[in-house]
Structure 1
Amino acid sequence: MKGISLDGAVAVITGASGGLGSVLAAELVSRGSYVVLAGRSPERLSLLAGKLGERTSWMAMDITSFESIQAAVLEIVSRHGRIDVWINNAGFGIFERADDAPLEHFEAMMDVNYMGTVRCTKAVLPYMQKAGKGQIVNIASLAGKIGTAKGSGYCASKHAVLGFTDSLRQELAGTGITVTAINPGPIDTPFFDQADPEGHYVKNIRWMMLRPEQVARKTAEAIVKGRKEADLPFFSAAGARILRLFPRLADGPVGRLMNKK
């Protein structure tokens, strides 16, 4: 599959005001891209854009509102003439048991993590189709391939993202538009301030957490090479594949080993 040169590319990153999004922005700028930081906090976006330099701009956007996204996409295209890469990075998680979690938490994670990805893709896709090229990158998760205790809401939203990504890739085959899924394990970012406020999960898996710079680098490489999917780290990705083939393993010692939340 053909990738996109990041040198001179116009790339939009949602959820870009902090965490992985801000590191992704720095990685793409270092490779010569013009990066538009998208998110809900003008102050934080403006501050980051100032730090990253003249190849960076920002756009306030609410991914729970299709109208907000459409307006932002129109403004970005008006400014830059095109959008070459769109990275659906915005998302959040709350780790809790299904029987304890209020319905509102399930709905909110699905609205942001899944429907946010759908809304953004629906808004930018017509412009890429008209251009006959482009790349949509969805930051999913290994949680989209295997379920874990206290992850029912979050895992379900990421399973939905991967299902959407795989189907969209088939629909867009031959159009010049590449669809890529990035599936990282736990990343050392402020994501866990909300997902795991007591720090229990982070304490248990600190040794295996990815650095955001690692994920940003692998994402950039996947864009350049036009990869369909990138799973990381290797050993976690291998474990996910084995569990997909042999789901009963999750009922015994393997399941207990995974239950770190």
Structure 2
Amino acid sequence: MLAHLKELQNLNSKLVLITGASSGLGELVAYEMAERGANVVLCARNVTALRKVAEKCKSLSQGNAYVVKLDVSDPKAIDQQLGHVLRDFGPVDVLVNSAGFGIFEPFQTMPMEKVEAMFRVNVLGLMYVTRRIAQQMITRNRGQIFNIASVAGKIATPKSTAYSATKFAIIGFSNALRLELRPLGIQVTTVNPGPMATNFFKQADPSGNYFESVKLLALSPQKVARQISEAVGRRRREINAPLYMEVIHRGYELFPNLGDYLAGSSFFNRK
């Protein structure tokens, strides 16, 4: 069980695959991994942006940075492109599932097409990618998978109904997968960040009102990316940031009625 996990702490020449690597947290994770000497496989739909990220990764690592156009909502593309990665670039040591997006709208008025799109990317895409990469990790009895979820997957608030559902699903999937893969030498780590100063909110809330109301509490995405990098090769079950949100979550579990009241209050309901 996880006998070879510590070998991943030295990322020199290890292969790290990152989805959603063209911007936001995924981009910053790529830089952190490259700075530690990893060869990175950068996956996203925006090839132009990926190439810019790849150039910076190469300068940081003096190693390889591969660009792979990938739409994680397309299972056939996942199978084809990841098959190409494994054949041409070698086995993946670390997988970071960072691709995802959110839309903050009341569920009753949100078109179901938007709900389905979020589930295809945030949940099903993550599961397809994980399944494909985990299969080759199992043959080597070594690997680590980071699934980017959210505090929204622990504390649901109004207008994040569908988005929270996707993140709750990721956490549940990761918790069960961790138990399945641990005896096979693979660590699964869930990352649950709160609001971060990234371009995520340009799509989630185009008005900008929500981020404006929470920007003083917003996390540094660079800090979260560093926490992920530092957790490579370690038996880390979860990364929860900021820590006080995890404390609030624990209180929510102990006092659910009070938690519902607070989650619906003006402090949390700023979307």
Q: TM-score, normalization: structure 1?
A: 0.96
- Which blocks of at least 5 consecutive residues in structure 2 are unaligned? none
Given the alignment of the two structures, is residue 259 of structure 1 paired with residue 269 of structure 2, yes or no? yes
Change beyond 3 A, Cα 1:131–1:105: same
The 8 Å contact of residues 146 and 244 in structure 1, kept in 2 or not, is answered as no
Distance 2:151 2:141 in 1: 31
Name the counterpart of 2:27: 22
Given the alignment of the two structures, is residue 69 of structure 1 paired with residue 78 of structure 2, yes or no? yes
Given the alignment of the two structures, is residue 79 of structure 1 paired with residue 88 of structure 2, yes or no? yes
Given the alignment of the two structures, is residue 13 of structure 1 paired with residue 12 of structure 2, yes or no? no
Distance 2:233 2:182 in 1: 18
| SS of 1:12 mapped into structure 2 | strand
Alpha-carbon distance, 1:213 to partner: 0.4
- Which blocks of at least 5 consecutive residues in structure 1 are unaligned? none
Alpha-carbon distance, 1:252 to partner: 3.0
Amino acid corresponding to residue 243 of structure 2 in structure 1: F
Amino acid corresponding to residue 232 of structure 2 in structure 1: I
Amino acid corresponding to residue 150 of structure 1 in structure 2: K
Range that drifts further, 51-60 or 28-37: 51-60
Distance 1:247 1:166 in 2: 21
Name the counterpart of 1:202: 211
Name the counterpart of 1:228: 237
Alpha-carbon distance, 1:36 to partner: 0.7
Alpha-carbon distance, 1:221 to partner: 1.6
Alpha-carbon distance, 1:19 to partner: 1.0
Distance 1:111 1:71 in 2: 17
Name the counterpart of 2:182: 173
The 8 Å contact of residues 135 and 177 in structure 1, kept in 2 or not, is answered as yes
Pairing of 1:53-202 with structure 2 (within 5 A): 53=58, 54-202=63-211
Amino acid corresponding to residue 269 of structure 2 in structure 1: N
Alignment length, in residue pairs?
A: 261
Amino acid corresponding to residue 145 of structure 2 in structure 1: I
Distance 1:13 1:191 in 2: 17
Distance 1:252 1:67 in 2: 44
Alpha-carbon distance, 1:110 to partner: 0.8
Pairing of 1:15-54 with structure 2 (within 5 A): 15-53=20-58, 54=63
Alpha-carbon distance, 1:80 to partner: 2.7
Share of identical aligned residues, percent?
39
Distance 1:209 1:105 in 2: 25
Distance 1:240 1:200 in 2: 25
Alpha-carbon distance, 1:253 to partner: 4.6
Change beyond 3 A, Cα 1:39–1:253: closer
Amino acid corresponding to residue 52 of structure 1 in structure 2: C
Amino acid corresponding to residue 122 of structure 2 in structure 1: N
Distance 2:197 2:160 in 1: 18
Q: Which of the numbers 213, 220, 227 marks the counterpart of 2:222? A: 213
Q: Residues 140-194 of structure 1, C-alpha deviation per residue, up to 9 Å, x if partnerless?
A: 1111111101000100000000110001111112110111101100111000000
Distance 1:244 1:260 in 2: 22
Alpha-carbon distance, 1:254 to partner: 5.4
Distance 1:74 1:104 in 2: 29
The 8 Å contact of residues 222 and 229 in structure 1, kept in 2 or not, is answered as no
Distance 1:17 1:247 in 2: 38
Change beyond 3 A, Cα 1:8–1:179: same
Distance 1:28 1:253 in 2: 38
Alpha-carbon distance, 1:68 to partner: 1.1
